[in-house]
């Protein structure tokens, strides 16, 4: 099957910019069910921590099963548009796109977290709006990272209700393919899959260019990933990450939280795939030329900057300890990410002395590491701002909280003003949806071919 073309996506209901809210997504897909009751049905697989129903939309087909989940991280709404268009493709062209499979679409697995990001969903998408309204849960409150596991003395057994709902769905349908609709933020496109097949990895690597988007060949999200093709990595399992951290002398295991979907789905032999897509692109993400600086220097600068962020956030949280009265998700996330920044900095410092860092850095690596620092500052210090601001707006803020908010806001605004990419226009959504759909269909096709062979 060919890639979905830009023309096809433009002909569909894919706007150039902007994302649906939780309510808008629900209404749209329920209307689709009412219009095509013989093709798509709705059910509820569970409820969120705050009692929000978690919708499942099923397009019946053959014996194979595909599960697709949106909103796995609530600051990643590109998948909402992808699910809207995917449902329409499955209804209107089942022979072309259905692969003789039954499709289970979880439109938004974390409605509570998504609602805390909705202020930046309307078009046009601007970087300052995004960071001002950014929210990401603490790792143990993220659907992707709250699956149970136990390995080498480390473990987690407190899945949140949203994760439990997804686990129960997995147990019921034993998916052949699972795609969690994630997205990155800035730079280029990259992928994860648990399949080692070179043909699938090679195909995934070629998809972004079909839609005019660059690959991200700079710094990966974590060291020691298995590279399957350009910007395509094998999805690491939690036990493998623990083993690698211990091997590097970092005996604290994962930063926090539990295992991911790939870990849980291993029991079913499920093929998993994640396409990480940027809201904004930059050519440096794909530039492999020598940057004129050593990779060791780049990593050292990143570690120092993240240590500084760790100390800043930790110092503020210590100063207001006992004065905070609201157990908000912002407060819990701030505390987790303050510790997390210190853990990331320690992991980077552990790499500095290794022989692998004694080489020139590429432009893509400099870009990726520099932007990681900028992103973490604006994301996580921004969440702490929202935690302190919640106290002020509730009328419960002690003077120490007001002082901390004013000082943090001044520092945060300096970081935001220093963003050299503030005026970048976002990528057209039809291209982003096209990449996710093409990668999804390539993965399903690979699984079908493998099962037939």
Query: What pLDDT, on a 0 to 100 scale, did the predictor assign at position 350?
Result: 87
Is residue 347 in a domain?
yes
CA dihedral 429, 233, 143, 260 (to 10 degrees): 160
Query: What pLDDT, on a 0 to 100 scale, did the predictor assign at position 314?
Result: 97
CATH of the domain at 241: 3.40.630.10
- Based on the domain organization, do 278 and 306 belong to the same domain? no
Residue 322 Rama label (left phi>0; alpha psi -120 to 50; beta): left
Is residue 201 in a domain?
yes
Beta-strand ranges (E) seen in 207-307 are: 227-229, 232-234, 271-276, 280-281, 290-294
For 123, the enclosing helix (H) or strand (E) is none
Query: What pLDDT, on a 0 to 100 scale, did the predictor assign at position 258?
Result: 86
- Based on the domain organization, do 264 and 339 belong to the same domain? no
- Based on the domain organization, do 372 and 433 belong to the same domain? no
Beta-strand ranges (E) seen in 125-266 are: 149-151, 154-156, 177-181, 186-187, 190-193, 227-229, 232-234
- Based on the domain organization, do 305 and 254 belong to the same domain? no
Query: What pLDDT, on a 0 to 100 scale, did the predictor assign at position 249?
Result: 73
Is residue 18 in a domain?
yes
CA distance 88 to 379: 34
| Beta bridge pairs of residue 258 | none
- Based on the domain organization, do 346 and 402 belong to the same domain? yes
* Residue owning tokens 């998700």: 329
- Based on the domain organization, do 179 and 226 belong to the same domain? yes
pTM of the model: 0.94
- Based on the domain organization, do 197 and 111 belong to the same domain? yes
CA distance 342 to 425: 32
Is residue 155 in a domain?
yes
Query: What pLDDT, on a 0 to 100 scale, did the predictor assign at position 8?
Result: 59
Is residue 322 in a domain?
yes
Is residue 1 in a domain?
no
- Based on the domain organization, do 294 and 316 belong to the same domain? yes
Which among 122, 435, 424 has a CA at the least distance from the CA of 281? 424
Considering its fold, how many domains does the chain have in total? 2
Residue 417 DSSP code: H
Is residue 16 in a domain?
yes
CA distance 343 to 131: 23
- Based on the domain organization, do 229 and 299 belong to the same domain? no
How does pLDDT run along the chain (453 residues), one tens digit per residue?
455 555 555 445 677 789 999 999 999 999 999 999 999 999 999 999 999 999 999 999 999 999 999 999 999 999 999 999 999 999 999 998 999 999 999 999 999 999 999 999 999 999 999 999 999 999 999 999 899 998 888 888 999 999 999 999 999 999 999 999 999 899 999 999 999 888 999 999 999 999 999 999 998 888 788 999 999 999 988 888 888 878 777 665 545 678 899 999 999 999 999 999 999 999 999 999 999 999 999 999 999 999 999 999 999 999 999 999 999 999 999 999 999 999 999 989 988 888 889 999 999 999 999 999 999 999 999 999 999 999 999 999 999 999 999 999 999 999 999 999 999 999 999 999 999 999 999 999 999 877 765
Judge residue 147's burial from the number of C-beta atoms within 10 Å of its C-beta, 0-12 exposed, 13-18 middle, 19 or more buried: buried
**246 is in which domain, residue-wise?**
6-282+426-452
CA distance 339 to 269: 34
* Residue owning tokens 């609201």: 326
- 8 A C-beta contact, residue 71 and residue 111: yes
- Based on the domain organization, do 24 and 168 belong to the same domain? yes
- Based on the domain organization, do 94 and 43 belong to the same domain? yes
| Beta bridge pairs of residue 292 | none
- Based on the domain organization, do 334 and 387 belong to the same domain? yes
CA distance 388 to 102: 46
Is residue 159 in a domain?
yes
């Amino acid at each position: 099957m060919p890639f979905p073309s830009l023309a096809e996506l433009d002909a569909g209901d894919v706007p150039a910019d902007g994302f649906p809210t939780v309510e808008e997504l629900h209404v749209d897909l329920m209307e689709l069910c009412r219009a095509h009751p013989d093709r798509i049905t709705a059910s509820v697989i569970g409820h969120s921590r705050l009692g929000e129903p978690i919708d499942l939309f099923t397009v019946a087909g053959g014996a194979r099963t595909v599960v697709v989940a949106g909103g796995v991280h609530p600051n990643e709404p590109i998948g909402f548009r992808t699910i809207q268009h995917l449902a329409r493709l499955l209804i209107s062209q089942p022979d072309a796109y259905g692969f003789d499979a039954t499709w289970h679409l979880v439109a938004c697995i974390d409605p509570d977290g998504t609602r805390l990001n909705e202020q930046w969903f309307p078009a046009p998408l601007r970087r300052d709006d995004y960071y001002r309204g950014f929210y990401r849960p603490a790792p143990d409150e993220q659907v992707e990272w709250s699956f149970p596991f136990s390995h080498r003395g480390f473990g987690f057994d407190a899945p949140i209700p949203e994760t439990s709902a997804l686990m129960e769905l997995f147990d019921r349908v034993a998916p052949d393919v699972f795609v969690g609709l994630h997205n990155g933020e800035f730079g280029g496109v990259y992928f994860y899959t648990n399949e080692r097949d070179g043909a699938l990895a090679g195909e995934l690597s070629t998809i972004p260019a079909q839609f005019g988007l660059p690959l991200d060949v700079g710094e990966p999200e974590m060291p020691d990933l298995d590279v399957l093709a350009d910007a395509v990595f094998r999805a690491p399992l939690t036990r493998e990450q623990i083993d690698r951290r211990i091997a590097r002398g970092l005996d604290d295991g994962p930063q926090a939280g539990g295992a991911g979907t790939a870990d849980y789905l291993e029991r079913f032999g499920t093929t998993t795939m994640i396409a990480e897509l940027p809201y904004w692109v930059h050519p440096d993400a794909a530039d492999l030329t020598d940057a004129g600086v050593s990779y060791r220097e780049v990593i050292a600068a990143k570690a120092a900057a993240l240590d500084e962020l760790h100390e800043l956030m930790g110092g503020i949280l210590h100063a207001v300890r006992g004065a905070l009265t609201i157990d908000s998700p912002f407060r819990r996330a701030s505390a987790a990410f303050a510790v997390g920044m210190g853990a990331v900095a320690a992991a980077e410092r552990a790499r500095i002395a290794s022989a692998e860092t004694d080489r020139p850095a590429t432009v893509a690596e400099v870009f990726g590491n520099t932007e990681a620092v900028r992103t973490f500052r604006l994301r996580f210090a921004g969440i702490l701002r929202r935690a302190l601001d919640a106290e002020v707006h509730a009328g419960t803020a002690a003077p120490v909280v007001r002082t901390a908010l004013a000082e943090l806001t001044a520092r945060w605004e300096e970081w935001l003003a220093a963003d050299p990419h503030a005026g970048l226009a976002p990528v057209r959504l039809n291209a982003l949806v096209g990449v996710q759909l093409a990668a999804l269909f390539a993965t399903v096709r690979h699984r079908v071919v493998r099962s037939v062979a």
